[in-house]
Amino acid sequence: MNILITGTSRGIGFEMVKYLTKEPGHKIIMVSRNSEKLNELANYCKTEQPYAQIIPLVFDLSKTQSFQELNALITDETDSIDVLINNAGYLINKPFSELSSSEVAQIYRVNILGPIELIKTCLPLLEKSEKAHVVNISSMGGFQGSVKFPGLATYASSKAALASLTECLAEEYKESRIKFNCLALGAVATEMLAEAFPGYEAPTTAQEMGKFIADFALSGHHFFNGKILPVSQSTP
């Protein structure tokens, strides 16, 4: 399968790539702005699994005006996409009144505007797949009715927008072969979480969540479309 994953330089995305390369036959396009970490991951996968088809693409998803450039990079590597996982995220834990306009804009560019532009960019390639699956990674903070926490207003609302986008696209493309689903994750032990909440111990490791998301991305479209599914052992 041809699989494109964003946010692969660390955390859950990093672990997803490692897990998926264990199974031969996948071509994995991994997108991140961190070229050093991307190359490190690519080299690791090639060492562990010499047959792995790993394609690192260096791109900053917050630069929405440059997606034509990303489109060219992707189409140079594949003529179809079976799975798109919008995993990249940006989190700032800060009181709402203290957030700068640039911080708010960056959160929304990465968490919702980036996925919108990437899905639009990939649509022609997704439509060439026999049964494509777009998986958007949201958060329990953006899940309606969940417990909310101070300092996460902009992050949580951007993730809520991503969840709603999933429902809208599933409806708009229900006559196509593309399925759209959203996983609202609880706390996972990642570098991003540790930076925002120093000392907090999450109940789920990045490796565990990476495996779960990868498996869901490969098979979840057989059972779900337009669903927002909470994936959490706790609240958050």
Do the beta carbons of residue 218 and residue 130 sit within 8 Å? no
Separation CA 161–CA 142 (nearest Å): 8
Domain ranges of the chain: 2-231
Place of tokens 């759209």: 180
How many CB atoms sit inside 10 A of residue 130's CB? 7
Residues 6 or more apart whose Cβ sits within 8 Å of residue 227: 166, 170, 181, 182
pLDDT in tens, 93-138: 999 999 999 999 999 999 999 999 999 999 999 999 999 999 999 9
Do the beta carbons of residue 212 and residue 16 sit within 8 Å? no
Domain 2-231 sits in CATH at 3.40.50.720
pTM of the model: 0.94
Do the beta carbons of residue 159 and residue 111 sit within 8 Å? yes
Separation CA 129–CA 102 (nearest Å): 38
Residue 236 reports pLDDT greater than 60: no
Is the peptide bond prior to 115 cis by the omega test (within 30 degrees of 0)?
Answer: no
Residue 71 reports pLDDT greater than 60: yes
pLDDT in tens, 146-181: 888 889 999 999 999 999 999 999 999 999 999 999
pLDDT in tens, 13-28: 999 999 999 988 899 9
**Where does the pLDDT of residue 191 fall: very low under 50, low under 70, confident under 90, or very high at 90 and above?**
confident
Single-letter amino acid, residue 81:
I
Do the beta carbons of residue 82 and residue 1 sit within 8 Å? yes
